[in-house]
Amino acid sequence: MTKKEMMDIIVERIKNCKACPLHENRTNVVPGEGNLDSPIMFVGEGPGEDEDLSGRPFVGRAGQLLTKILESVNIKREDVYITNIVKCRPPNNRTPTKEEASICSHYLFAQIEVINPRMIVTLGKPALELFLGKSVAITKVRGNEFEWKGGIIIFPMFHPSYLLRNPSKAKGSPKDLTWQDIKRVRKYYDQFLKERENG
Ligand code: SF4
């Protein structure tokens, strides 16, 4: 089976999923999108209103900022794979509960198995906590690297919606730190592509 065929099966399951209460208010499921061969995946928390309406991840204001952040280091959003922990919109954009995240995350883990990335960039605290299995202060750990199953690098960055609430670009501000972080992601991206080229 090709990666696309495997991902299509996961997406079909998500579309029919009623495993947690978040299915009750969804307009569309938001499984994720992008390059199934990308060495890097981006994982956020959950779909917002624009995402629920369109069925696509990170297309609202925060998503447009993420697109700009990627473009600032010449990565197109379609070059990488972008998704969330939960695939249905939590009411009023609240954080998914631990239970919802735990139920839905088996889709995310299946997607990770299909894509087989070298690095997962987590956007915001809930996504990082899912991988680390413990509570963390994102302001303290962003830009650090963690190792996850099979040697995948987990690289936490701020969620773009946090950057919208903290627009300062002063040295040491969340936006400034994000600029440092995305430059590191770019370096890793180049390294991964080069390693793939060299077999
Ligand atoms: S959020 Fe995930 S587990 Fe809950 S209904 Fe949607 S797809 Fe199913």
Contact call for residues 90 and 126 (beta carbons, < 8 A): no
Using a 6 Å cutoff on CB, does residue 23 contact ligand 1?
A: yes
Nearest CA to ligand 1 atom 3: 104
How confident is the model at residue 85, as a pLDDT?
A: 98
Q: If you measure from the C-alpha of residue 133 to the centroid of ligand 1, how many angstroms do you get, rounded to a whole number?
A: 20
What are the strands of the beta sheet with 146-148, ordered from one edge?
Answer: 33-34, 81-84, 40-44, 119-123, 152-157, 146-148
Q: If you measure from the C-alpha of residue 183 to the centroid of ligand 1, how many angstroms do you get, rounded to a whole number?
A: 33
Q: Is the dihedral of CA 100, 26, 160, 187 positive or negative?
A: positive
Q: pTM, whole model, 2 decimals? A: 0.97
User: What's phi and psi for 84, nearest 5 deg?
Assistant: -135, 170
**Integer CA distances (angstroms), 166 to 106, 120, 153, in order:** 32, 24, 27
Using a 6 Å cutoff on CB, does residue 75 contact ligand 1?
A: no
Residue 14 Cα: closest atom of ligand 1: 7
User: Parallel, antiparallel, or unpaired for β 33-34 and 81-84?
Assistant: antiparallel
How confident is the model at residue 122, as a pLDDT?
A: 98
How confident is the model at residue 74, as a pLDDT?
A: 98
Q: If you measure from the C-alpha of residue 73 to the centroid of ligand 1, how many angstroms do you get, rounded to a whole number?
A: 33
Q: If you measure from the C-alpha of residue 6 to the centroid of ligand 1, how many angstroms do you get, rounded to a whole number?
A: 19
User: Parallel, antiparallel, or unpaired for β 152-157 and 146-148?
Assistant: antiparallel
In order of start, what are the domains of the chain with their CATH numbers? 3-192 (3.40.470.10)
Reading the chain (199 residues) residue by residue, the pLDDT tens digits are 999 999 999 999 999 999 999 999 999 999 999 999 999 999 999 999 999 999 999 999 999 999 999 999 999 999 999 999 999 999 999 999 999 999 999 999 999 999 999 999 999 999 999 999 999 999 999 999 999 988 999 999 999 999 999 999 999 999 999 999 999 999 999 999 999 999 7
Using a 6 Å cutoff on CB, does residue 24 contact ligand 1?
A: no
**Integer CA distances (angstroms), 175 to 139, 166, 179, 187, in order:** 12, 8, 6, 19
Distance CA 4, CA 139 (A): 36
How confident is the model at residue 193, as a pLDDT?
A: 96
How confident is the model at residue 20, as a pLDDT?
A: 98
